[in-house]
Homo-oligomer: A and B are copies of this chain.
Amino acid sequence: MDSTMTQTIAQKLTAIRQHMAAANLDAFIVPRADEYLGEYVPEHNQRLLWCSDFTGSAGTVIILKDRAAIFTDGRYTIQVKQQVNAECFEFYHLVDTPHMAWLSEQLPADANVGFDAKVHNLNWYQDSLATLTEQHMNLVAVDQNPVDLSWADRPQPTQNMGLLLEQKYTGLSSLEKRQQIGADIAKQGADAAIISALDSIAWLLNIRGKDIHCFCVILGSAVLMKDGSMTFFTDPAKIPAGFAQHVGAGVTIVAEAEATATYKNLGKQGLNVLADPETSNAFSQLTAQTSGATLIAGLDPVATPKACKNSTELFGMQQAHIRDAASEIRFLAWLEAEVAQGNLYDEGFLSDKLTEFRASNENYVELSFDTISAAGSNAAMCHYNHMNGTPAMLPMDSIYLVDSGAQYLDGTTDITRTVAIGTPSAEHKKMFTLVLKGHIALAQMKFPAGTNGAQLDSLARQFLWQQGYDYDHGTGHGVGCFLNVHEGPQRIAKNANAVALEPGMVVSNEPGYYKQDEYGIRCENLIYVVEKGNGHDGKTFYQFETLTLVPFDLRLIEQSLLTKDEVNWINSYHVEVKAKISASLTGSDLAWLEQATQAI
Contacts and interface: CB of A to CB of B under 8 A. Distances in A.
Given A458-B458, A459-B459, A462-B459, A468 B536 contact: yes
Number of copies: 2
A404 B496 CA distance: 36
A563 B566 CA distance: 12
Contacts of A537: 469-470, 515-516
Contacts of A494: 451, 455
Interface string A514-532: 0110000000000000000
A1 to B, nearest CB: 45
A388 interface: no
Interface in A142-164: none
A462 B445 contact: yes
Contact of A495 (B441, B459, B466, B498): B498
Given A455-B494, A459-B458, A462-B445, A468 B541 contact: yes
A535 B468 contact: yes
A536 B467 CA distance: 8
A539 B468 contact: yes
Nearest to A513: B537
A468 B515 contact: no
B458 A446 contact: no
A446 B456 CA distance: 16
Contacts of A534: 468
A465 interface: yes
A122 interface: no
Contact of A458 (B455, B516, B539): B455
B468 A446 contact: yes
Interface residues of A, number: 32
A447 interface: yes
Contacts of A515: 537
Nearest to A541: B468
A512 B465 CA distance: 24
Contacts of A456: 458
Interface in A276-297: none
Contacts of A328: none
Contacts of A305: none
A281 B458 CA distance: 36
Contacts of A498: 495
A495 B454 CA distance: 10
A445 B469 CA distance: 12
Contacts of A469: 536-537, 539
A458 B454 CA distance: 9
A447 B469 CA distance: 9
A317 B341 CA distance: 65
Contact of A445 (B441, B448, B466): B466
A261 to B, nearest CB: 31
A324 interface: no
A459 B454 CA distance: 12
Interface in A523-565: 534-537, 539, 541, 563
B459 A446 contact: no
Interface in A485-506: 494-495, 498
Contacts of A211: none
A444 B444 CA distance: 22
A465 B541 contact: yes
A94 B119 CA distance: 41
A457 interface: yes
A459 B463 CA distance: 11
A454 B456 CA distance: 10
B459 A445 contact: no
A455 to B, nearest CB: 5
A539 B470 contact: yes
Contact of A465 (B446, B454, B462, B470): B446
A471 to B, nearest CB: 10
A290 B380 CA distance: 56
Contacts of A441: 462
Contacts of A446: 465-468
A190 to B, nearest CB: 14
Contacts of A541: 465, 468
A494 B452 CA distance: 9
Nearest to A458: B455
Interface in A426-467: 441, 444-448, 451, 454-459, 462, 465-467
A462 B536 CA distance: 15
A379 to B, nearest CB: 15
Nearest to A450: B494
A466 B495 CA distance: 23
A456 B465 CA distance: 11
A466 B445 CA distance: 6
Contacts of A445: 462, 465-466
Contacts of A468: 446, 534-536, 539, 541
Contacts of A451: 458, 494
A444 B467 CA distance: 11
Interface of A: 441, 444-448, 451, 454-459, 462, 465-470, 494-495, 498, 515-516, 534-537, 539, 541, 563
7 contacts: A445-B466, A446-B465, A459-B462, A468-B539, A469-B537, A469-B539, A516-B537
Please name the 8 residue pairs, one residue from A and one from B, whose CB atoms are nearest each other, closest first. Answer: A468-B535, A455-B458, A468-B536, A468-B534, A468-B541, A448-B470, A447-B465, A446-B465
